[in-house]
Amino acid sequence: MRSDKGGPLAASYALGTLVSRNVPLMKILSLLAMIFVATFVLAQNHDYPGSGGMNPTKWHEDLAILREQMAKKHGNLFHTISREQYELAFDDFERRLPEMTDNQVKLGIMQIVALVNDGHTHVRFDTLGNHMLPIRLHYFADGLFVESTDRAHSNLLGGKVLRLGSMSVEEAYKSVRLLVSVDKNNEPRRRLLVSDLLTTPEVLNAIGAIKNSNSVEVVVEKNGRQIKADLPSGPFGPWNNHGWPSDPQGWINARSASSSPVPLWLKHSDKNYWSEFLPDGQTLYIQFNQVADANGGEPIAKFFPRVLKDAAEKKIGRVILDLRLNGGGNNELNRPIWHSILENASLNQKGKLWILIGPKTFSAAMNLVDDLELNTNALFAGEDTGESPNMWGDPVDIRLPNSGIVVGVSTLWWQFADPRDNRPYRSPDLPVALSSSDYEGNIDPVLKAVLASRSAVQ
């Protein structure tokens, strides 16, 4: 059942690539059916709670609205899947609905929405009525680790997660990866978002990893030994798309024991933008966390021209623009940024202008990446971005009246790159990943690599 070599988990892993490869429709539906059937079989031996008085009739009503409104409101819902694939996927889902639990239906909705292959067309996690465990997980370069936790479970802090309930981390990831909406099978973006699903008891319950949603046994490896803990279900904490999620009051972070200063990328992650000249006297660091004017502060159209002009006048040899935590905003505000770079020719040189990117670089921030790639001599460092150069965006909400679930649906096509550009993301020129030990030690390997690069200031 949980083998990597076959069965529903393998089917789930493969499904995301089939539509884009024009695999025959019946093959896709067969794999989708395997996932639903397998989840239902697991449910027979598990105690699943209800969710607010929903029943098959109410779910059918919600699904009918979702089916109609997604096709009506999306700018082009069938840019990756055909209408026939879409309709038959819904038909197959609704046939199985009377046999499914409420938690399974929610996952089925997420999976169908994710089939659109569009990162902005997504189910809003905070409307699913779920709970979360008192830990925060993150996929680093070396695996899935406990980034922060409440004090009661501090012994798990910094541990590498091995199991969630009855499933290994690898099995759980393969079971939920296709619930996450991304552009063109963007796996780095999936890994970023999946960590929230893996700390959601209702999700683990629906895939058969746990018997009920009240608690989850978690196994981590730390300092060469395994630690087990039963984590209780608690209030849902929504994922923060901009910046780095702040820990709830009283929690402990894996970085808490580090004697090193907070790295620049986490120093002011709550600010939309800010800048600082580095001690080397040759580098201006700018962090840009949200494409929105700061409340009550200097707007983007004044901030960036000012700091870049200042850097040019001081004959600064290197500018680093950090977009790693930028989840987007209003792309109309981007123009003064790259225009200011073009107006300061001494900064717009290969090796002197660096852009830091990662899987949180999304939406309007990805538009800025496009602008900088097309119009400047910037080099990029870090990890793959969270979105495609060309993308669907500007979602509008569809609220399902019975369940209250909200689905965002893209309305506009944004083509900043060549129309033939089908990259799922923008890869860095200088690839550098963040490890768990880097995070715990307050080390920024990306900034460190840029400062040491041969393409930097001589």
pLDDT tens digits, one per residue of 288-320: 999 999 999 999 999 999 999 999 999 999 999
Task: Please give the torsion angle defined by the CA atoms of residues 243, 246, 252 and 256, in that order, rounded to the nearest 10 degrees.
Answer: 40
Contacts with 65 (C-beta within 8 Å, 6 or more apart), sequence order: 398, 400, 401
> What's the CATH number for 264-388+423-452?
3.90.226.10
pLDDT of residue 238: 62
- For the chain, the domains span 7-119, 135-240, 264-388+423-452
Bridge partners (DSSP) of residue 146 are: 137
Could you report how far apart the first and last alpha carbons of the chain are, in Å? 57
Residue 125 pLDDT: 92
10 Å CB burial of residue 419 (0-12, 13-18, 19+) is: exposed
Q: Which residues of the chain have pLDDT under 70?
A: 1-52, 238-242, 454-458
Which class would CATH give 135-240?
A: mainly beta
Map tokens 């990306």 to a residue: 446
Q: What is the pTM of this model?
A: 0.89
What does the pLDDT read at residue 14?
Answer: 40
CB atoms within 10 A of CB 282: 16
pLDDT of residue 241: 63
- Give residue 427's pLDDT: 97
The reported pLDDT for the residue numbered 32 is 55
251, amino acid identity: W
25-43 helix and 102-114 helix, angle to the nearest 10 degrees: 160
**Among candidates 188, 185, 84, 198, which has minimal Cα distance to 137?**
198
Residue with tokens 């910094």: 158
Joined together, the tokens standing for residue 111 give 């999976």
Convert 46-61 to b/e letters by CB count within 10 Å (16 or more is b).
bebeebeebeeebbee
Within 34-190, strands assigned E span: 122-123, 135-140, 143-149, 160-164, 167-168
What pLDDT is recorded for position 48? 32
**What is the β-pairing status of strands 396-399 and 122-123?**
unpaired
Q: What is the pLDDT of residue 236?
A: 79
Torsion of CA 94, 95, 97, 98, to 10 degrees: 140
Task: Identify the pLDDT of residue 158.
Answer: 97
Sign of CA dihedral 261, 264, 270, 274: positive
Count of CB atoms situated within 10 Å of the CB of 250: 8
